[in-house]
Structure 1
Amino acid sequence: MSAVRLSIGGLRSFYGYGLGNTAYLRVGPTNERDVAAKLRSSVSSWPGNQKVATLFTAFIALLAITWYAWKTKASKKGKLPLPPGPRGFPLLGYLPFLDSDIRHQFTKLSQTHGPIMKLWLGTKLCVVVSSPSLARQVLKDNDAIFANHDVPESALALYDGSGLLWSPYGPHWRMLRKVFVREMMSNTTLDAYYVFRRQEVHQMLADVYAMIGTQINLGELAFITSLNIITSMLWGETLNGEERRKVGVEFQKAMDEIIELYGKPNISEFFPSLARFDLHGVVREIKKTSVWLDQIFDSVIDQHMKMDSEEGDRREGNKDLLHFLVQLTKRGELTLTNVKAMLLDVVIGGTDTTSTTVEWTMTEIIRHPKILKKIQEELVEVVGLSNLVEETHLPKLRYLEAVLKEAQRLHPAAPLLSPHKPSQSCAIGGYMIPKDTKVMINVWAIHRDPEVWNNPLEFQPERFLGDFGKWDFRGNDFRYLPFGSGRRICAAIPIAEKMLTFILASLLHSFDWRLPEGTKLDVSDKFSLVLKKAVPLVAIPTSRLSKPELYL
């Protein structure tokens, strides 16, 4: 019960009888009509004018209503609102207004609605974060809450999304990451597999030398090289001769299709009740791709199981990642579907994003001849024209590393990262982010924010030469997040750093590059989960090294 204290003082003479200086009216947590009825009953028993009693009743009822409204407002005062955002249609939300390139659209909308905004897309609540400070709150301050990814239907349809990329945060994911980091990303393993990286990079140089004066698709070249490096670490096999390019191109086509389907708009994402109808055919298409992948994965898994059964613990030499995954299946800790999902995630992460980054970096270098000259001067000083680039040279190539970082700033491989999903409601930037909201970090906007970067649209590698140590790839500075940050940061950063710099340094040291005559450099992109060039980079090489035998 609540008490409304009514000070009526001088009204005593007006009503013609004494009530004392104060009256108390006891009212419970009922509605206004209950309050008014009690007042009417109480006041009607008073002697005097009935009209005056009615007026007094109305006055007290109004006072009680005002108090009730204030109390209700006060009780809601502690609840945070949702972020601001553009309006949409009933039921459909903002879906009818979405562009094909939401990266640009989100960036423009954030200039109106602020660095954190919401969009209702069908029944799905989406929040877009576009500032370093808010990205820090999501990826570091509340890292455990946002450790899950919002998994697309296409990923669930491909090996149940049970690999390292899409698995929910928990024991299964931690076990996969632990195995991957320990068996593939440790310094010991990386050092042991240097011979394979060196062999594949030298094979790449031999392939290019055999095509001197002809047009070369640099993205395809980088993909095939990185594919062979990754598969040698995954299951110990690489491709040679004509098979190298043929299978590499098929793999690249499959990876491109999967990436496109991962990022393709799907009505099932926004209206989950329609998922079983697969209206956009996304699930159907990705299952077609999985048939080809299954043939490859089944072959290498069967081979490893047979090998492990025959050799047991006597197996010597480098034990690739698949060996350890197979052991986990024998112990019942993983299924074959889990193993295939893991292999797929590593292949995609180690090839598609690597080749895309190499292609964008080479595009910017060819676009800026002065920068190309500086890189090659550094390479001559560190390596010399009588030698091939080795991984021991890479830490000394400071300018090339700055160029690579600047290319990843302007052209981040994952412009919106992989969407996160909070496991519980959480406050970010003074707003409430409900549980299961789709949260996107607009890295593309952060990397081009004029409040963060001077002349953000210009390609200036020198910006990364000042305080060199802080601009690493490990997500410690939230102004620069090419690989993400927090628990779900890319687990393959150690090998990615080595592969990217090794491939780029070798291509730029061993060859000069020019565009085919009559062509212009196209810098347009096409948006998906991975930011690719709209038109592949094709260039013509000319040898630079002093001795032809270095290429053989």
Structure 2
Amino acid sequence: MEVQYLYISLLLFLASYLFTSQIRRKFSNLPPTVFPSIPLIGHLYLLIKPQLYRTLAKISAKYGPVLELQLGSRPILLVSSPSAAEECFKKNDIVFANRPKQVFGKIIGVNYTSLSTSPYGDNWRNLRRIASIEILSVHRLNEFHGIRVDENRLLIRKLQSSSSPVHAKLMFYELTLNVMTRMISGKRYFGGDDRELEEEGRRFREILDEAFLHAGVSNICDYLPILSWLGVKGLEKKLIALQERIDVFFQGLIDQLRKSKGDGVVNRKKTMIELLLSLQESEPQYYTDPMIRSFLLDLLAAGSESSNGTMEWAMSLLLNHPLVLKKAQDEIDRVIGNNRLVDESDVAKLPYLRCIINETLRLYPPGPLLVPHESSEDCVVGGYKIPRGTMLIVNQWAIHHDPKVWNDPERFNPERFDGLEGTRDGFKLMPFGSGRRSCPGEGLAVRMLGMTLGSIIQCFDWERVSDDMIDMTEGPGLSMPKAVPLVAKCKPRLEMMNLLCEL
């Protein structure tokens, strides 16, 4: 009998909870929500499903493009249409310029001095200014142009001398990391003859792999604070230990460059660390070593992880669509010829190559769920009231795959971008985010994507290792990696043999 009373009590509690929730929602003009929302945990059960962006896209297709979810104690605004995204990043850009504090305070490798996580205000504006003017400006990227050209040529030489199938993921990973580490510290870790540097690079890769694996991972306590009161720590100890390894590694790079001071080399371009250390000399209380370390990891995340993944997806798509690959080669032959390699400045004259890159970013955006934002005050989105402190999640994967937005959205069709300039199409295509907190590394990523893909398409004929189509299954992770890494065969094109021999 007591058990029966317990069941009845639980049912009454649940009915009361659902009734009061619906009444509150109706009179507060809140966005529609998803059934069921379980007491205490809300919609946390959704997070256990793989490929969360697909799950959320199905929910939005059923309930609407502006939804409210409840992850434990945290209210969530889920947006999945270009018009709603425009309201968030244009009309309410300042309102949503913050990051969720509890969640992002525990992301590995970053803290409140980080560009990616600093609350909106004077400190963030200064960090953004440093990134936009001192580190990732057009002028500064032009200064580092020689590094990217050099790494591109080394990649072509490596592919030319290779007789075995190419592991594309490793190839692009090492390329982008070499570019970034040379720009950051002047060190080239992969593909050289220095055993000591290779060992340092191996440790660096292990740290980065673990950091990217845990990037965006937050403790369950962020959503259910009661667990922290009960002593639950989640991943906190593991993340703290990894943070210490990251700090030790980057501090070693900082100390080395502080000690060397360029070794007296005249007219040598300063690395990013040296630029930050020169700023530290004038404002040591602001440009502290911890601030520089956080800045460096932000730069690596912005400039490497998204670029190498996009290149692997692009080559996978081209291998499954050889006619598109041939059309891209024909364009490069016609515009560039076979007496020199594609350069970054040539990409503007290669519209079909840009279409391929845009279509790849549409189908496989490097961040299918944009980095979350948080409202600093009440606002209105889609006609609904959004309370202060609501976390904003924009499902750009859902927007990029919406049949109401794109014709036949699951088909790889670069021609759909004919006549569109740049890498954006309003708020229909946002591979690097939008608004004040869009990715500061977009300019660098676009340069690397264009020159690298253009060069390897120009110089080599590519084909699959078997008659089977390339597996396009998406793996787990915030950056949407391929579940099965790409392996392909390539051979030098006859038209390019003279130039390849000169390299």
Instruction: Give the structure 1 partner of residue 179 of structure 2.
Output: 229
Whichever of the two has the greater Rg, that structure is: 1
Counterpart for residue 274 of structure 2? 323
2:238 equivalent to 1:285: yes
Equivalent of 2:254 in 301, 304, 323? 301
Higher relative contact order (CA 8 A, sep 6+): 2
RMSD: 2.6
Q: Contact 1:128–1:440 (CA<8 Å) still a contact in 2?
A: yes
Contact 1:232/1:238 (CA < 8 Å) preserved in 2?
A: yes
Q: Which is worse superposed, 510-519 or 218-227?
A: 510-519
SS at match of 2:153: helix
- Asked if the contact 2:178–2:188 (Cα under 8 Å) also holds between the matched residues in 1, the reply is yes
TM-score by length of 1: 0.79
Select between 343-352 and 291-300 the one with higher mean Cα deviation: 291-300
Q: CA deviation at 1:182?
A: 1.0
**How many Å separate the matches in 1 of 2:38 and 2:89?**
31
Q: Is the 8 A contact 1:130 1:441 kept in 2?
A: yes
* Structure 1 segment 148-547 matched on structure 2, within 5 A: 148-151=98-101, 152=103, 155-156=106-107, 158-212=109-163, 214-239=164-189, 241-242=192-193, 251-264=204-217, 266-275=219-228, 279=232, 281-308=234-261, 316-330=267-281, 331=283, 332-466=285-419, 468-469=420-421, 472-473=422-423, 477-517=426-466, 520-544=469-493, 545-547=496-498
**Larger CA deviation: 258-267 vs 186-195:** 258-267
Pick aligned residue for 1:84 from 13, 33, 36:
33
Equivalent residue, structure 2, for 1:32: none
Name the TM-score, length of structure 2 as normaliser. Answer: 0.87
Runs of 5+ consecutive residues of structure 1 not aligned to the other structure: 1-75
Supply the AA of the counterpart residue of 2:331. Answer: E
**CA offset at residue 528 of structure 1?**
2.4
2: CA distance, partners of 1:460 / 1:159: 38
- Which residue number corresponds to residue 119 of structure 1? 69
Partner of 1:17: none
Cα displacement (A) at 1:77: 9.9
| Residue identity in the other structure for 1:362 | M
How is 1:133-148 mapped onto 2 (pairs within 5 angstroms)?
133-148=83-98
Following TM superposition, by how much is the alpha carbon of 1:550 offset from its aligned partner in structure 2, in angstroms? 3.9
In structure 1, C-alpha distance between the alignment counterparts of 2:214 and 2:234, rounded to whole Å:
10
Take 2:266 and 2:234, find their aligned partners in 1: how far apart are those partners? 45
Consecutive aligned runs of 4 or more in structure 1 exceeding 6 Å deviation: none
Q: Write out per-residue CA displacement over residues 280-313 of structure 1, whole angstroms, 9 at most, x where no aligned residue.
A: 74233333333443343112211232244987xx
Check conservation: 1:159, 1:338, Cα contact below 8 A.
no
Against the structure 1 CA distance between its residues 401 and 317, is the aligned structure 2 distance closer, same or farther, given a 3 Å change threshold?
Answer: same
Count of matched residue pairs:
470
8 Å CA contact 2:339–2:499 kept in 1: the answer is: no
Closer, same or farther: CA 278–192 of 1 in aligned 2, 3 Å: farther
Question: Residues of 1 paired with 2:65 and 2:199: CA distance?
Answer: 46
Check 1:447–1:247 CA distance in 2 against 1; reply closer, same or farther (3 A cut): farther
What's the secondary structure of 1:499's corresponding residue? helix
The answer to whether residue 81 in structure 2 is matched with residue 128 in structure 1 is no
Q: Aligned pair in 2 of structure 1 residues 186, 541: CA closer, same or farther (>3 Å)?
A: same
Deviation at 1:218, TM superposition (A): 1.1
Q: Residue 322 of structure 1 aligns to a residue in which SS? A: helix
**Counterpart residue number, 1:53:** none
| Change in 2 beyond 3 A, CA 1:246/1:513 | farther
Structure 2's unaligned 5+ residue stretches are 1-24
Structure 1 residues 251 and 375 mapped into 2: Cα distance closer, same or farther (>3 Å)?
farther
CA shift, 1:252, in A, is 4.5
How far apart are the structure 1 equivalents of 2:359 and 2:202? 28
Please report how far the alpha carbon of residue 486 of structure 1 lies from its aligned counterpart in structure 2 after TM superposition: 0.2
Distance of 1:273 and 1:550 partners within structure 2: 66
Q: Percent identity?
A: 32
Match of 1:418, SS state, is: coil
Deviation digits for residues 373-394 of structure 1 (CA, Å, limit 9, x no counterpart): 1011111112223432223322
Note if contact 1:132-1:479 (Cα within 8 Å) is conserved in structure 2: yes
